[in-house]
Structure 1
């Protein structure tokens, strides 16, 4: 089976983890700060907080912005459910903005229209969470202009996008946002097994997230209300156990050394898909441009408009039988039974629905060989034109 995504683990990665296992610290030691520093250096952000998952990163990012009951968070329907769930964890409500048909990201024109209506109704969002779908940055300049007009905060869900660039800067620089979240799940570009991180240029938000990931506790005497001695700590907020282990950080730190190579190979594979499928029936995603250089966590093609859901299902099953580990990213959050129970209807987001019914994710990963990609393409074309 050729998987849609797979981690690349080297002997150096393994040795980095083994060194931690032989050290004095397997949690709350010196490697997590080094991993955070590597991410901050790559992105150009002032601060980075590493945590146990991108979900926990989204949660503490919103909590650091005091999102709570009575607040509203807006995000995209085409994302993993965690992007929306994090708002509900905070006691806030959530709403969605439909996507652009050609980028799969939040449509900034629709966002502007929805903000105008929300302002008239007194229901502006406190936070907007744009999702950099497939590793392509949203139109952050347009979003930045809107946040300056309407006063909301921005948390980038860049779970797919470490290594991507936008407007001449790495995604994660927070040039157009308050906070930016990454994922290090095994199918992502860099892995720590499970893990996530948040970058920011705001020292206050950084310190608050550092406390929230560890039960809301501080050991910094300058922040304490009292100090009984060297053993003393204070819980100053209701936090969580969202810490990353030293072993995970060691793996991530070793992986970060190969980030540029990881992304370069994914861009090569995206270019080959573009070249070899350009005369097929499939609608292909945009390639890189000077403004927006994706990291290609996913490569999603779509059947033409008017294709029936059964056609995509038949294609999916045929490719799986051929040993091609295709997948579908994502089922719109608004289709999920839980969210339908909150009153959302898929028909409210027609572009997301059209995307979902016709999209299929093709394999793309660092170790994928050209001949494996050729097998994928042959199987794909044969399945459609049989």
Structure 2
């Protein structure tokens, strides 16, 4: 089976993890800060906070932005459920913005129209979560303009997009969003096994996210939000203070060491993914399907390569094509089932038909295999199987 995604682990990665396992610190040592500094430098961001996974990063970013009951978070239906669930963890309400039919990202025109209507109704969102689907950045300059006009905060869900670029700058640099979230799941661009990161240029926001991941606790060397130092002089160097109700969302040193090692090869991973994406574009050109379109302002990191079948030209259903590819040893997948159609969100009042572009996209989308260790021969096998099935 050729999988749709696969991690790329080198001997250097194994050595980095082994070094931590032989050390005195398996967690809360120096591997975490090292990884944070390295990724912040790569993205040209001021601060980077490593956490257990991207869902945890989304959750504490929402807490740090004071999202709570009575507030609204808007995101896209074309994403994994975590992009919406993070609001529900905080007791906030969720709504969605339909997607652009070419990029499959949040539609700026749909967002602008929805914001204008919400402004009249007094139901503007406190937070908007644009999702950089498949590795391609949303139109963040336009979304930033809308944020300034309507007063919402931006959490960029860049779980697919580490190493990607927008207008010549790395995603995560903080030019447009209040914070950017990355994922390091094994099928993502780089991996820490599980793991996530929140990047921000806001010093106070970084501090709050930092202590929220550790039970809301600060140590003597840190300062509380009111600027007062912890009282080490009174009690001793063991002193710690819980200043807020936080969570245990830390990343281990084992994970962080793997992340730092992987980061050294990030550019080569992306270069290979871009080669494969370009090759797919060429090899699939005569088939009854649409290849991913790329906005000229973006350089995708190509976490996913998603095709859309031309339903009026293909005699088989999407399910039949999917099953035939799986039977041929091609580990295709589908990204994503629109979040608003999930039973949990249906129970909150969402129905089919509310976001037609996302629903139409879902009906004919198939994710083809794409990973940095994929060979040309494996890609040829994928294309040959697809040609045979569609014929």
TM-score normalised by structure 2 residue count:
0.96
Kindly tell me: are residues 277 and 45 of structure 1, through their superposed partners in 2, closer, same or farther at Cα, counting changes over 3 Å?
A: same
1:111-146 Cα deviation digits (max 9, x unpaired): 000000000000000000000000000000110111
Kept in 2: contact 1:270–1:287 (CA 8 A)? no
1: CA distance between counterparts of 2:126 and 2:192? 31
- Residue 308 of structure 1: how far off its partner (Å): 8.7
Q: Which residue matches 1:120?
A: 120
User: What is the aligned partner in structure 2 of residue 206 from structure 1?
Assistant: 206
**Aligned with 2:38: secondary structure?**
helix
Matching residue of 1:166: 166
Q: Within 5 Å, which residues of 2 pair with 1:281-360? A: 281-287=288-294, 289=296, 291-306=297-312, 311-360=317-366
> CA–CA distance in 2 between the matches of 1:131 and 1:309?
33
SS at match of 1:197: strand
Counterparts of 2:293 and 2:316 in 1: how far apart (Å)?
26
Partners of 1:241 and 1:310 in 2: CA distance: 48
Q: What secondary structure is seen at the aligned counterpart in 1 of 2:172?
A: coil
Q: What secondary structure does 1:346 align onto?
A: coil
Q: Following the alignment from structure 1 to structure 2, what is the Cα–Cα distance between the partners of residues 168 and 238?
A: 39
Aligned residue in 1 for 2:251: 244
Q: Give the direction of change, closer, same or farther, for the CA distance of 1:200–1:73 in structure 2 (3 Å limit).
A: same
Structure 2 CA distance for partners of 1:199 and 1:281, relative to 1, 3 Å: same
Query: Residue 191 of structure 2 contacts residue 259 of structure 2 at CA under 8 Å; is this kept in 1?
Result: yes
Map 1:86-125 → 2, pairs under 5 A: 86-125=86-125
Equivalent pair of 1:271/1:287 in contact (CA under 8 Å): no
Q: 2 CA distance for matches of 1:83 and 1:288?
A: 23
* Cα shift at 1:220: 3.2
Question: What secondary structure does 1:94 align onto?
Answer: strand
SS of residue paired to 2:289:
coil
User: Any idea what SS the aligned residue of 1:73 has?
Assistant: strand
Instruction: Tell me the distance in 1 between the aligned counterparts of 2:137 and 2:329.
Output: 31
Q: CA, structure 1 residues 280+307, in 2 after alignment: closer, same or farther (shift >3 Å)? A: closer
Following superposition, which runs of at least 4 residues in structure 1 exceed 3 angstroms of deviation? 224-227, 305-310
Choose which of 361, 385, 388 in structure 2 pairs with 1:379: 385
Shift of 1:340: 0.3
Name the CA distance, whole Å, in 2 between partners of 1:188 and 1:307.
Answer: 33
CA contact (8 A) 1:162 1:189 kept: yes
Counting matched residue pairs gives 384
Instruction: Compute the displacement of 1:174 (Å).
Output: 1.1
- Equivalence for 2:78: 78
Pairwise CA distance, 1:288: 6.8
Q: What's the secondary structure of 1:348's corresponding residue?
A: coil
Preserved contact between residue 308 and residue 357 of structure 1 (Cα < 8 Å): no
Give deviations 1:7-48, integer Å, cap 9, x for gaps.
000110000000001111000000100000111011101000
In the alignment, which residue of structure 1 is the partner of 2:151? 151
Describe how 1:14-53 pairs up with structure 2 within 5 A. 14-53=14-53
Q: Please state how far the C-alpha of 1:87 moved relative to its aligned partner.
A: 0.5
Work out the CA distance in 2 between the residues paired with 1:123 and 1:211: 31
Question: Residues 225 and 251 from structure 1, CA distance in 2 versus in 1: closer, same or farther, beyond 3 angstroms?
Answer: closer
- Measure the CA separation in 2 of the matches of 1:346 and 1:37: 44
3-state SS of paired residue (2:310):
coil
| Deviation by residue 1:289-346 (Cα, 9 ceiling, x = unmatched) | 3x21000000000011547997100000000000000000001101110000000112
* CA distance, structure 2, for counterparts of residue 226 and residue 341 of structure 1: 48
Root-mean-square deviation (CA), in Å? 1.3
Question: For 1:220 and 1:46, how far apart are their aligned partners in 2?
Answer: 23
Q: Deviations over 1:179-214 (max 9, x none)?
A: 000000000000000000000000100000110000
C-alpha contact 1:288 1:294 (8 A) present in aligned 2: no
